[in-house]
Amino acid sequence: MTHLRVHAPSETANQLSQLRKLADASVAADHNEPFGDQTWVDLNAGNAWLISAEDEQLAGASVVVIPSDPSQPVLIELVVDPETRGRGIGRELANATEQLVTDHAAPDQTVTAWSHGDHPAARQLAAKTKLKPVRLLYRMAIDLAAESFGDAAVPQGYTIRTFQPGTDDHAWLQLNATAFADHPEQGQLTQADLDARKAEDWFDPAGFFIAEDAEAIPVGFHWTKIPVGATAGEVYAVGVHPAAQGTGLGKALTIYGMKHLAGSGLEKIVLYVDDENRPAVNLYNSLGFGIENTDVMFSSNS
């Protein structure tokens, strides 16, 4: 028999090992991470609620982040162990999650939920809880067996160097916030968020590139990611200051980082991009990327 337990944010730290095993089982079955990077950051920082469905082991879980600022949306990510699916555990977790949000979120606070891989069961749960799809996020990929994405032609007046941890933190955070001012996640990164990512075992400043203008002011970046033991590297984030957009710097930075990944013995490169960001989608298509997966965000405000 499955039992549900609600863990307050201050109580989640001792649950993370089991949660990682559950997430790994989901990745093996679905080829998708059930929880985003920021979700793990929030869990490790004690900023997220956790609802666990426990049998003899962890059979499913719902992670709920409820910002104290009611203008910021609640974020939900839910996963059920592949071996226990079809038993109603997802629906039980969804019901418990609804109650948790009712008890702890502001009355009019928007609720959002991600379905990584656009799983049919997730769409059914979303419909039953009256959440509607509002955002598509593509995972695009390129096979590195035939490297042919061109040269990183850096526009005149710009140079590219590697990120210096500590020294570059403040300037990069300002640049990131400006470049992604309209992005609901990336543009909100704080020093604590950056520190958490720098503490990850995959972080490597040699794969984090900063573009500077003639006055040595950072105006763009390409942060790459190679998870430990993975065969795929990631275009983790590419950003360009609005003043430098339209110069070709974004394409140059993208290719610059791709060449770094291509020289790391990987099989492919992946990236995530919003469907609404058509200039970026078109750029990645031109470089040989194709869509291999779609994530869907559902929202109560649609």
Residues carrying CATH 3.40.630.30, the chain: 3-130, 141-292
The continuous run of DSSP H or E covering 260 comes out as helix 249-262
Dump pLDDT digits (tens) for 208-247. Answer: 999 999 999 999 999 999 999 899 999 999 999 999 999 9
| Vertex 5: Cα angle to 4 and 6 (nearest 5) | 125
Dump pLDDT digits (tens) for 110-120. Answer: 999 999 988 88
Q: What whole-number distance in Å separates Cα of residue 13 and Cα of residue 48?
A: 10
Q: What whole-number distance in Å separates Cα of residue 175 and Cα of residue 219?
A: 7
Identify whether the C-beta of residue 296 lies closer than 8 Å to the C-beta of residue 143: no
Distances (CA, A) of 152 to 204, 246, 257, 259, 287: 21, 15, 9, 8, 12
Q: What whole-number distance in Å separates Cα of residue 213 and Cα of residue 287?
A: 25
Ordered strands of the 3-7 beta sheet:
3-7, 49-54, 58-65, 74-80, 111-115, 290-299, 132-143, 268-274, 232-240, 218-225, 208-212, 159-162
Per-residue pLDDT, 206:
97
Q: What whole-number distance in Å separates Cα of residue 277 and Cα of residue 297?
A: 15
Walk along the chain (302 residues) and give the pLDDT tens digit of each residue.
689 999 999 999 889 999 999 999 999 999 889 999 999 999 999 999 999 999 888 999 999 999 999 999 999 999 999 999 999 999 999 999 999 999 999 999 999 999 998 888 888 888 888 899 999 999 999 998 755 677 889 999 999 999 999 999 999 999 999 999 988 788 889 999 999 999 999 999 999 999 999 999 999 999 999 999 899 999 999 999 999 999 999 999 999 999 999 999 899 999 999 999 999 999 999 999 999 999 999 999 87
Per-residue pLDDT, 138:
96
Per-residue pLDDT, 1:
67
Short-list 107, 46, 44, 34, CA closest to 76? 34
Per-residue pLDDT, 146:
56
3-state class (DSSP) for residue 12: coil
For 141-292, CATH number out of 3.40.630.30, 3.40.50.1980, 3.40.50.720, 3.30.565.10 equals 3.40.630.30
| Ramachandran sector of residue 291 (left: φ over 0; alpha: ψ -120 to 50; beta: rest) | beta
Q: Give the list of residues 6+ apart from residue 294 with CB closer than 8 angstroms, or none.
A: 117, 118, 136, 137, 138, 139
Please give the distance of CA 131 from its chain centroid, rounded to a whole number: 20
* Fold of domain 3-130: Aminopeptidase (3.40.630)
Identify whether the C-beta of residue 157 lies closer than 8 Å to the C-beta of residue 243: no
Strand partners, 161: 210
